[in-house]
Amino acid sequence: MAGGVTGGADGTWSDRFEQGLHPFIEVFNASIGFDLTLLQEDLDGSIAHARMLGSCGVISVDEADQLVQGLEAIRSEAHAGTFQPGLADEDVHFAVERRLIALLGPVGKKLHTGRSRNDQVGTDLRLWLRRRMDELEGDLQRLQRALVAQADLHRRTMIPGYTHLQRAQPLCLAHHLLAYVEMLERDRLRLQDVRSRVNICPLGAAALAGTPVPIDRRQTAKDLGFDAIYANSLDAVSDRDFCVEFSAAASLVMAHLSRLAEEVIAWASEEFRFVRLSDRCATGSSLMPQKKNPDVPELVRGKCGRVFGHLQGLLTMIKGLPLAYNKDFQEDKEALFDAFRTTRDCIEAMAILFEEGLEFRTERLNSAVEQDFSNATDVADYLVARGVPFREAYQLVGAVVRRCLDEGCLLRDLTLSAWQELHPAFEADLHDALAPRAVVAARRSEGGTGFDRVDEQLDGWLQHLNGTQPVG
């Protein structure tokens, strides 16, 4: 019974229990194998709780000090690698409490006054997630910065723009890259919004109904940096909405990363040849000596399934649960931990890829936009500018494209007189107007790919990102 929290058959439970757990069930029941991740937060939460018990007069200030010192001693043991709980500890909360009792004796047994593991685990999880989300914010900005830096190098580089993966209209490469910067910005703001609901304190809800112990929930909440406390004790111990919301926000990050990854994979292929992968971020084949594989974006694309799966798993976990705490909730942790770790790793991998793992093949990109009919809309717009109704112009250009396809040439290969036979509005300036660069430059509408517009956007991003955090 040495080290037991309360007594009972094997030292864990109250004397209500006469027999210890079946060895398989002991393993099945335990979360210590993964919830030790919450150790720092468990210590932080317990320290705030102990201080509050002292200042509310529930325990003496001296006892509170002893508890705080004991908890800090466990933190030091953890840093030194000597705090090594085992299966019998069941979870991180019991492991800490047991160690505290072993260190302090009877005073240690006062820590759990006025709380339950139900509000404790909810507090730990929110503290943990809040910290991790703040780290994610910096990671997202790093990737945004890497994309903006590439965009800055390619303010005048062209890239074919696609719809349905068919050549549509030429673009400025910077414009294409900034589209992802925008997505990541929404992801960042979405995470900030989720954080406001993560940062609410359940501590003091106790098992489900509150406690007769005269605690001060607002003190612990403030001490731990929470913005507010849960108003309803039942809701406090059974809310896992915040885990679902985080996983949903993380899933969108992953979806965005996966789209970018998919483009890089295509761009690196022999068919596109838009980027060259550096040796630092690509791998070879064990069989085919000529190969250089885009493993990094492929893994990012592949790892989406894990995060989307965790979102689904968490939703399914909570959907049929009666109030209040149910052990099902223990399943939230591995899902949340892995959703976070996977998302974070993928953001970092993509940041490294854009920082030093790929190079855009400028010449190839600029010539790619010369080889197609992606200036066809601009011929129609040329006529529109000269008074021809759009639909009529559209029909006419469609016929010209067909003729070019039959003759195996491009729009720019037709002579001015050939154009003028088709419509008297065509003039000598047509050829210049059809050059891909002119076509891009002309798209000056707000949010368009026109070089001047993209310059404005890029300058805004450089200022915004460098203003919030210096470029590393």
Looking at residue 28, its amino acid is: F
CB of 336 to ligand ARG, least distance (A): 11
Contact residue for ligand ARG among 40, 69, 312, 330 (CB under 6 A): 330
CB of 110 to ligand ARG, least distance (A): 20
**Lookup: tokens for 283:** 């791998």
CB of 107 to ligand ARG, least distance (A): 23
178 in Cβ contact with 147 (< 8 Å): yes
Contacts 24+ apart (CB under 8 A), 167-171: 167/372, 167/373, 167/374, 168/374, 169/374, 169/375, 169/377, 169/378, 169/439, 169/443, 169/449, 170/369, 170/374, 170/375, 170/436, 170/439, 170/440, 170/449, 171/440, 171/449
CB of 198 to ligand ARG, least distance (A): 17
CB of 332 to ligand ARG, least distance (A): 7
Looking at 191-199, 295-303, 327-335, 437-445, which segment touches ligand ARG (CB under 6 A)? 327-335
Closer of 272 and 329 to ligand ARG (Cβ): 329
Q: 205 vs 96, 445, 468, CA distance in Å?
A: 20, 55, 38
Contacts 24+ apart (CB under 8 A), 398-401: 400/376, 401/373, 401/376
Q: Provide the CB-side half-sphere exposure for 20 (13 A, CA).
A: 12
CB of 179 to ligand ARG, least distance (A): 41
The contact mask relative to ligand ARG for 281-320 (x = CB under 6 A, - = no) is ----------------------------------------
Q: Is position 31 an interface residue for ligand ARG (rule: CB under 6 A)?
A: yes
**Lookup: tokens for 242:** 């915040």
Contact residue for ligand ARG among 41, 42, 89, 91 (CB under 6 A): 91
Binding footprint of ligand ARG, residue count (CB under 6 A):
10
Q: Is position 6 an interface residue for ligand ARG (rule: CB under 6 A)?
A: no
Looking at residue 56, its amino acid is: C
Looking at 227-235, 326-334, 341-349, 395-403, which segment touches ligand ARG (CB under 6 A)? 326-334
Query: Which of 400-427 are b and which e, b meaning 16 or more Cβ less than 10 Å from the residue's Cβ?
Result: beeebeeeeebbeebeeeebeebbebbe
CB of 327 to ligand ARG, least distance (A): 6
Is 285 among the catalytic positions?
Answer: yes
Residue 47 CA to residue 219 CA, distance in Å, equals: 12
Looking at 54-62, 242-250, 325-333, 411-419, which segment touches ligand ARG (CB under 6 A)? 325-333
Q: What angle do the packed helices 92-104 and 117-153 form, to 10 degrees? A: 120
297 in Cβ contact with 333 (< 8 Å): no
Q: Provide the CB-side half-sphere exposure for 306 (13 A, CA).
A: 18
Q: Is position 325 an interface residue for ligand ARG (rule: CB under 6 A)?
A: yes
The contact mask relative to ligand ARG for 98-137 (x = CB under 6 A, - = no) is -------------------xx--x----------------
Cα 337 from chain centre? 12
Contact residue for ligand ARG among 180, 267, 329, 382 (CB under 6 A): 329
CB of 40 to ligand ARG, least distance (A): 16
**In the block, residue with structure tokens 């590439």:** 150
Closer of 121 and 346 to ligand ARG (Cβ): 121
Is 164 among the catalytic positions?
Answer: yes
Q: Is position 12 an interface residue for ligand ARG (rule: CB under 6 A)?
A: no
Nearest to 211 by CA among 126, 127, 120: 120
What is the chain's length? Answer: 472
CB of 326 to ligand ARG, least distance (A): 9
**Choice among 60, 76, 278, 285 that is catalytic:** 285
Residue 30 CA to residue 27 CA, distance in Å, equals: 5
Closer of 15 and 446 to ligand ARG (Cβ): 15
Closer of 243 and 353 to ligand ARG (Cβ): 243
Closer of 180 and 325 to ligand ARG (Cβ): 325
Closer of 158 and 244 to ligand ARG (Cβ): 244
**Choice among 164, 286, 417, 445 that is catalytic:** 164
Looking at 142-150, 225-233, 321-329, 366-374, which segment touches ligand ARG (CB under 6 A)? 321-329
Closer of 91 and 187 to ligand ARG (Cβ): 91
Closer of 330 and 362 to ligand ARG (Cβ): 330
**In the block, residue with structure tokens 């790619």:** 368
Q: At 433, which helix (H) or strand (E)?
A: helix 430-434
274 in Cβ contact with 364 (< 8 Å): yes
Q: Enumerate the active-site residues.
A: 164, 285
- Which residues of the chain form contacts with ligand ARG (CB under 6 A)? 31, 35, 91, 117-118, 121, 325, 327, 329-330
